[in-house]
Amino acid sequence: MNNKPTIAVIGAGLGGAAAGALLQQAGYPTKVYEQAPAFARLGAGIHLGPNVMKVMRRIGIEEKLNAMGSHPDYWFSRNGMTGEYQSRIPLGEFARENYGAAYITVHRGDLHELMVSTLDQDNLHFDKRLVDVDDSGDKVVMTFADGSIEEADLVIGADGVNSRLREKLLGPEAPIYSGWVAHRAIISAEKLKAYDLDFEACVKWWSEDRHMMVYFVTGDEKEYYYVTGVPEPDWNHGTSFVGSSREEMRKAFEGYHPTVQALIDCTESVTKWPLLERNPLPLWHENRLVLLGDACHPMKPHMAQGAAMAIEDAAMLVRCLEEVGAENYQQAFELYRTNRFERASRVQQVSHDNTWLREDEDPAWVFAYDPFEVPLKQPTSQ
């Protein structure tokens, strides 16, 4: 008989899917609840550093991702106007040898679909928006927007930047609009063949107050992707993203290098997203409730490590439950927080400052990290 506590994960984003998969693998009866009616393939890319690939190895999808993704040999940083190289960060074979796994870039939708496929499909529930939790008894009672009520011993809030669980723990507070937006577009590499230009596998074009990060999202290099950071003082759209246009892109990147102009010329469809943050939270868990990922440390995406932190959180949370025994869940949650707070807050800060790999630096503190192997720090109160 399984004596492990029942666990509910709220949100089947990248952090929630990782948590669900690792918990189910470790034998916890786990249900995942997602508000979206179905899985959707958002047109965007994502970097998966060696730190994340080590978690994917545990989940059992590392090889599939290696086959699916693009494997850049370098992260290049270049001056947006002149094209001059500011940094050349070795990835490829160097990453595999020195950080313990590959550095890949993939289509976010392909990654998400693969991660969600690793969950027990009978315990994955779409169209379930959590509206309330009552954590006053022996079980947590969850109420969903469709009127249904469910119970679990422990509840993990992996419900993103506008987390309902965070609100329950800390009260209502909107995330901070950073004053920057991100444009996102996927471009057919076929179109780029018309240009006598080199389109590198992973390159960030910089100027003082803005940038454009560009990479392939498929191993066959047929889909190229850009994501920007551009200042925009206000965000009054009230939605998580809006449409943008080639004209808006031309204006934002006027004077940029011909390679960037070619990307803009080849843009068929582009969206614009507000970049949201929160200051480090004073509370990550209380009683039977615990947060992970953007629910507790949303950040600007300028290190390409937001989802990575959510996935590392998931791995560390499961490790801590196993370490102290899930019956000691409050101890496990505090051990988890102790081992994640400093790293997540540092990544939030560097992302905010947007300095990551702008010049040559050693990225080992990010990429070599392994949430399953890093020595655990004990909470100071123990």
If you write DSSP's letter for every residue of 31-82 in order, what string do you get?
A: EEE-SSSS----S-EEEE-HHHHHHHHHHT-HHHHHHHSB--SEEEEEETTT
Least distance (Å) between residue 275 CB and ligand FAD: 6
Nearest one of 81, 56, 82 to 67, comparing CA atoms: 56
Q: What is the torsion angle, in degrees rounded to the nearest 10, for the CA atoms of residue 90, residue 93, residue 96 and residue 99?
A: -20
Q: Does 369 participate in catalysis according to the annotation?
A: no
CB of 307 to ligand FAD, least distance (A): 3
Would you call 85 a catalytic residue per the annotation?
no
Question: Which x/- pattern, by CB under 6 A, does the window 271-290 give for ligand FAD?
Answer: --x-----------------
Would you give the binding string for ligand FAD spanning residues 181-200, x where CB under 6 A is met? -x-x----------------
Catalytic residue among 103, 215, 226, 369: 215
Side-chain-side CA neighbours of residue 353 (13 Å): 9
Residue 226 is a binding residue for ligand FAD (CB under 6 A): no
Among 91, 95, 104, 158, binds ligand FAD (CB under 6 A): 158
- The residues pairing with 181 across neighbouring beta strands, listed in sequence order, are 230, 274
Assess 363 for contact with ligand FAD (CB under 6 A). Answer: no
Interacting span for ligand FAD (CB under 6 A) from 33-41, 148-156, 255-263, 324-332: 33-41
Q: Which is nearer to ligand FAD, 117 or 331 (CB)?
A: 117
As given in the structure block, the two tokens for residue 119 are: 């969950």
For ligand FAD, the binding residues in 296-355 under the rule CB under 6 A are: 301, 304-308, 310
**Minimum distance of ligand FAD from residue 67's CB (angstroms):** 19
157: three-class secondary structure by DSSP: strand
Q: Which residue is closest to ligand FAD by CB?
A: 13
State the residue for tokens 């469809």.
Answer: 269
CA dist 272 → 16, 226, 266 (Å): 25, 12, 17
Kindly list the catalytic residues: 47, 215
